[in-house]
Amino acid sequence: MSAGGSVEQLLRQVSPGRYDTYETYEALLQALAGSRLWMLLWNGQAGSPEAQYGNMEVAGYGYAPCVTSAQELAASGWNRAHEVVGGRDIASALFPDRWGIWLNPHAPGGGLGIPWLDLRRIAAGLDNLPPGPLRISEPALDIPQFYALLAQNAHHTPAVRSLRRAWVQPALGVPYLAIGLELYDAAPASVEAARAMMARSVGTVPEGLPVSSVAMSDDYDPVAMWLRRQSRPFFDRDAHVAGAAPTAAPGFGYGYPRAY
């Protein structure tokens, strides 16, 4: 699918620096996933070993500039080489290095940046990860029975090293309780043991309260990043304690540019 249609139409509906129309922004991400992008090369030619994307930094975050069609390429005045890449392919290539893309930087208003966390969502499937920016904070839920049972079940699950918790409010959709799972290893048997532990524990969760788990070993998950920096485990096998987590300041848009 060419990016020259729906992507450019949606771009006109999302103002740079303002992502408050989340439904439109989600539609833009969906369109990008199935579109082509004209990536601007600073060095080399498309397909050559020395090919290097252009780069720009905005609010401390790195972006690779690109344009959304051959027409926009001509309008940009770019006189170096370029490479045409599928949206999902470029998302998969850039997000592990924490690079986003910047769409049509030559356009009036300066174009629009797509942060690397949203490229991660495009690469993994938009329905598989919550839309950001995320509001993340300590849970204020009074559910001691669930936490006690979860800690007890974790104690009897040798693969589990520690448990943490966070309250997550996505940009779209319902808030949910996230449980951070730190395992001693990522072997399939360990992952399955942790999954079974969670399944045995969620029966005490109040009806209607969504609960999700996040791997603490995931270096790209914004909830895991927040948990590592802002919380203490409520179950810690190595410390032989199961104390309450401290109160941490709420985080908005964790892992996203502040202007997001």
pLDDT tens, position by position, 179-214? 999 999 999 999 999 999 999 999 889 889 999 999
Instruction: List the CATH number of the domain containing 148.
Output: 3.30.300
257 within domain boundaries: no
Among 88, 109, 128, give the residue marking a domain's end: 128
248 closest CA partner among 227, 224, 217: 227
Q: Are residues 109 and 36 in the same domain?
A: yes
Q: Among 75, 102, 128, give the residue marking a domain's end.
A: 128
How many other β-carbons are positioned within 10 Å of the β-carbon of residue 114? 23
With residue 198 as reference, give the H or E element that holds it: helix 188-201
Report the pLDDT value the prediction gives residue 68, as an integer from 0 to 100: 94
**How many domains does the chain contain in total?**
2
- Domain holding 56: CATH number? 3.40.1350.90
- Do residues 124 and 144 share a domain? no
Share of the chain above pLDDT 90, in %: 67
Residue-wise pLDDT tens digits, 125-170: 999 998 888 899 999 999 999 999 999 999 999 999 999 999 999 9
On whether both 115 and 145 belong to a single domain, the answer is: no
182 shares a domain with 89: no
Q: How confident is the model at residue 254 (pLDDT cuts 50, 70, 90)?
A: low
Domain extent at residue 208: 135-252
In a domain, 258, yes or no: no
Angle between helices 188-201 and 144-155 (to 10 degrees): 150
User: How large is the average pLDDT for residues 78-102?
Assistant: 95
From 104, 128, 152, the end of a domain falls on: 128
The answer on 224 and 120 residing in a single domain is no
Q: H or E stretch including 217?
A: none
Same domain, 99 and 31: yes
From the list 195, 185, 243, 251, the residue with the least C-alpha distance to 223 is 251
| Structural domain includes residue 212 | yes
Q: In this predicted model, what pLDDT tens digit does every residue of 35-68 receive, in sequence order? A: 999 999 999 888 888 889 999 998 888 999 999 9
pTM recorded for the entire structure: 0.82
